[in-house]
Structure 1
């Protein structure tokens, strides 16, 4: 397996790495974007925009609309700060936003835990197969559903 190696950020280090990456992409790091990112990063499992909106609303002491959170999450995905778990319509913070690559998600059907792994050989083969079929892949999404080791 050709694993992709990188530094996994956590806590305030992760928030700072996300801010740096977003600013490098030409976007501003606003107070609301910071709150959304910190809320997203605080979840143990993939979080929906509604989950994140609820968490930010509690912090802000006022209602934050899920539509606003969706827009910020779309920006985060585009800037590589977050990844979307398509089958769950949920998001996870990218622990290494400075590194752009395709991801593989292992999604537990029982508890919802989602593990992110990197295998450049597999994702390169997926891209190659798509190109061989005359398709131009932009962002392959690979999700494997099953049971995690804790639920097995």
Structure 2
């Protein structure tokens, strides 16, 4: 991303500047971070606050964000029972997407 932005702007943009902006996008719910891939995807519905469930294709690398509040509530409850506070479930499911299958 830093290289592409640098080329378009005609001057160097530092990678740490890109990460700061991405962190801001995540904090304002405009983007989601796919933890296992160290990647980001745009949030298609930034007005909603849901926990992250990503379906990641091992063939093409596509990451799809889905919402299942019942599932993530069970994860939150189990974590809280184990003594965790400030639980933020991030669930990543790896497999093969319908297009690649």
Q: TM-score, normalised by structure 1?
A: 0.62
User: 1:111 maps to what in 2?
Assistant: 60
Kept in 2: contact 1:127–1:137 (CA 8 A): no
User: 2:96 maps to what in 1?
Assistant: 147
Give the structure with the higher percent helix: 1
After superposition, the CA RMSD in angstroms is 1.2
| SS of residue matched to 2:13 | coil
| SS of residue matched to 1:142 | strand
Query: What are the Cα deviations for residues 17-58 of structure 1, in whole angstroms up to 9, with x where unaligned?
Result: xxxxxxxxxxxxxxxxxxxxxxxxxxxxxxxxxxx2223223
User: 1:123 maps to what in 2?
Assistant: 72
For structure 2, list consecutive stretches of 5 or more residues without a partner in the other structure: none
Moved over 3 A (4+): none
User: Is residue 93 from structure 1 mapped to residue 46 from structure 2 by the alignment?
Assistant: no
The counterpart of 1:68, out of the listed 17, 24, 33, is 17
Kept in 1: contact 2:76–2:88 (CA 8 A): no
Q: TM-score, normalised by structure 2?
A: 0.91
Of structures 1 and 2, the one scoring higher in RCO (CA 8 A, sep 6+) is 1
For structure 1, list consecutive stretches of 5 or more residues without a partner in the other structure: 1-51
In the alignment, the residues of structure 2 paired with residue 77 and residue 104 of structure 1 have an alpha-carbon distance, to the nearest angstrom, of 15
Give the superposition deviation at 1:70: 0.5
Aligned length: 101
Give the superposition deviation at 1:73: 0.9
